[in-house]
Structure 1
Amino acid sequence: MNDYRKEELKKLISKCLRERPGSYQVQQLFEQFPTTAELIDVSEQQLMSIKGIGRGKCRQLTAMLELAKTLSVPTQNQQTIRSPKDAFDLLEPDFRHSTKEHFTCLFLNTKNRLIFKEVISIGSLNSAIVHPREVFRAAIKRCSASLICSHNHPSGDSTPSPEDIELTKRLVSAGEIVGIEVLDHIIIGESSFVSLKEQGLM
């Protein structure tokens, strides 16, 4: 997906819709789905919510986007998460200068290869409010086999709070119900992290 620059994808979509790149329909698509990854994973229902895109155009777009998805990311280049340190190395740059808590998930396939990284919730200075339904809605959309949850502590102290532990247990229970395993919850502080899995807290 990252190999498809936005302008290239816009040209493909314009040809598919037989519209100019700056037309209403094309602009609406890129306003509602601003990142390439979001656009490539858009559903038929979401496409048909845009005025002027009927079932015929929707099917053409879906087929074109599916082809773009297939061609854009070679499987062997997908990052494999083998340990909490792998997850930390991937996530830490995103959290490094954040003054608010961000709750982010890594969605993985059956071989623990990264499908997608997504910010699920942004909280206040010391609280990131997230509900299991938000996490698993995103996981199901990405066709995930498993996931790793993470959030940062802007204070710099990566020690899990009682609320962190309770949330993790709720997520694990919800994952068991829907069949998507929660592999770990990584809490990231200042150049440090705690794995709740390694600590036996989940």
Structure 2
Amino acid sequence: MKELMVRDLPDMERPREKLLLKGAQSLSDAELLAILLRTGTKEDSVIRVAEKLLSVYKNESLGEFANLSVNDFSKIKGIGKVKAITVLAALELGKRLAEAPSIERKKITSPQDVVNYFMPRFRYEKKEHFIVVLLDTKNHILATPVISVGCLNSSIVHPREVFREAIVHFAAAMILVHNHPSGDPTPSKEDIHVTHKLIEAGGLMDIKVIDHIIIGDNCYISLKEERVID
């Protein structure tokens, strides 16, 4: 039996036409991927290629797809380098849109305010990112610079790097944020050591460290709420 190609489908079942008529939210994951991939192979329709991609990586969430490489995508017949790059670019754009509107100038009133911004960005990261949320005297955000990428330790996260950013942005206070790629936000001894080291440095410079928030997979721990920070 001849493979059913997209052009052979009724208009209402073609991904692009379906999007125009019913909106993007009406499309399945495979249909959305098919629009990005554009074409299939001689054996498979583009929808079938998209379904195969989803099937091979069925244990990965769509968010974690962004951590796959071009080579990972290219293992699926019908997905070359250009198509893989297109999908990765779309996934990255989606992650950035999830962060909008910008947190800058937003007033922080609770740990959840910080978590709501950083969770979409970091819950699927495979490496630890250490960020400082720099605040003015009214707890409005001035900037959120990334200080380090890699395993958190006192040699990588040095007070001079953290407080250089604070001084440049005239920050009155800060909140420390980092993610645990394991998905478990339980603080390690090194996490607590780094926290106390930065609190001590902040006391000398009159820049208060308000909290240290550790982000896991759809969960977090605030060291302030856990009373690790006074």
- Equivalent position to 2:186, from 140, 153, 159: 159
Structure exhibiting the larger radius of gyration computed from Cα positions: 2
Structure 1 unaligned spans of 5+? 1-76
Opposite residue 89 of structure 1, the aligned amino acid is N
Does the residue aligned with 1:158 lie in a helix, a strand or coil?
coil
Structure-1 residue corresponding to 2:122 = 95
Contact 2:128 2:150 in 1 (8 A): yes
Unaligned runs of at least 5 residues, structure 2: 1-103
What's 2:172 paired with?
145
**C-alpha separation in 2, matches of 1:197 and 1:146:** 14
Matched AA of 2:213: I
Return structure 1 stretches of 4+ with deviation > 6 angstroms: none
2:168 paired with 1:168: no
The TM-score, its normalising length taken from structure 2, stands at 0.52
Of residues 201, 207, 217 in structure 2, which corresponds to 1:180?
207
Query: Which residue in 1 is equivalent to 2:65?
Result: none
How many angstroms apart in 2 are the aligned matches of 1:106 and 1:171? Answer: 13
Aligned residue type for 1:168 = T
Amino acid at match of 1:147: M
Match of residue 221 from structure 2: 194
SS of equivalent to 1:167: helix
Residue in 2 that maps onto 1:123: 150
SS of the residue 2:214 aligns to: strand
> 2:143, 2:169 within 8 Å by CA — same for their partners in 1?
yes
> Deviation at 1:93?
1.8
Q: Which amino acid in the other structure matches residue 190 of structure 1?
A: D
1:84 alignment counterpart: 111
Q: In the TM superposition, what is the alpha-carbon distance from 1:97 to its structure 2 partner?
A: 2.1
1:54-93 mapped onto 2 (5 Å cutoff): 78-93=105-120
The structure showing larger relative contact order (alpha-carbon pairs under 8 Å, at least 6 residues apart) is 1
Query: How many residue pairs are counted as aligned between the two chains?
Result: 124
